[in-house]
Amino acid sequence: MKIKLTSVMVDDQDKALKFYTEVLGFIKEKEIPMGEAKWLTVVSPEGPNEIELLLEPMGFPPAKVYQKALFEAGIPATAFFVDDIQTEYERMKKLNVVFRSAPAKMGPVVVAVFEDTCGNLIQLCQV
């Protein structure tokens, strides 16, 4: 069993694609029109291309409630790992990314939480 696809719900796929590629540095993998929305995935330039992140449109009303509840509770929707969290934090701050927390040691990892501009909190982690 392998993880080949995971998703994050976004309130605007075009805005999400711009943020996830231009700010986070992911690469667009697939963009397939599917009516009002599209099958839109990105991959990490540092990871295997067969692991895709789907920028999932929120067409299902309960998804909006769930996303909002996570955001308001301060719970990240997902986590991305980096080799040097302080460098990444400083780079992203220069790009006006809103951080909820600066890098802080939490047991064996260092974490920081930022807003992805599409309704989610994302956690950065360094082991």
Tens of pLDDT, residue by residue over 40-94, are 999 999 988 889 999 999 988 999 999 999 999 999 999 999 999 999 999 999 9
Q: Which domain holds residue 65?
A: 5-126
CA distance 115 to 127: 21
Q: How many domains does the chain have?
A: 1
Tokens linked to 25: 């540095």
CA distance 127 to 110: 7
Count of CA atoms in the C-beta half-sphere (13 A) of 107: 1
CA distance 29 to 100: 29
- CATH number, residue 49: 3.10.180.10
Question: What is the pLDDT at residue 49?
Answer: 80
CA distance 36 to 20: 20
pTM, two decimals, is 0.94
